[in-house]
Copies of this chain bind each other. A is one copy, B any other.
Amino acid sequence: MTQIRLTPDEIHDLAHGILTRTGYGEAHARAIASFLTTCQMDDCGSHGLFRLFMCVETMRRGTIDGTAEPDIVTDDSAVVRADARGGISLLATQSGLPLLIERARRFGVAALAVNRCYHFSALWPEVEQLAREGLSALSMVPSHAWVAPAGGTRGALGTNPIAFAWPRGDTDPLVFDLATSAFARGEIELYRRAGKPLPEGVALDADGKPTTDPEAAMRGAMCTFGGHKGSALSLMVELLAGPLIGDMTSLESMAYAEGRPEAPYHGQIIVAFDPARLSGGRADAGQTSAEALFAEIAGQGARLPAERRYAARARNRERGYAEIAQSLYDDLKAL
Contacts and interface: CB of A to CB of B under 8 A. Distances in A.
Interface string A145-169: 0001111111010000010101000
Interface stretch (A35-43, A50-58, A237-245): A237-245
Interface string A197-238: 000000000000000000000000000011111111101101
The 6 closest A-B pairs by CB, nearest first: A226-B226, A243-B286, A246-B282, A246-B279, A79-B108, A152-B300
Contact of A236 (B79, B164, B282): B164
A27 interface: no
A296 B282 CA distance: 46
A236 B136 CA distance: 10
B108 A152 contact: no
A232 B305 contact: yes
Please tell me the size bucket of the interface on A: 35 or more
A228, A233, A281, A303 pick with most chain B CB within 10 angstroms: A233
Interface stretch (A61-69, A110-118, A326-334): A110-118
Interface string A122-136: 000000000000001
Given A109-B271, A249-B289, A251-B293, 14 more contacts: A78-B109, A107-B107, A111-B273, A136-B244, A148-B302, A156-B297, A176-B232, A225-B227, A229-B230, A233-B233, A235-B305, A242-B289, A244-B279, A246-B279
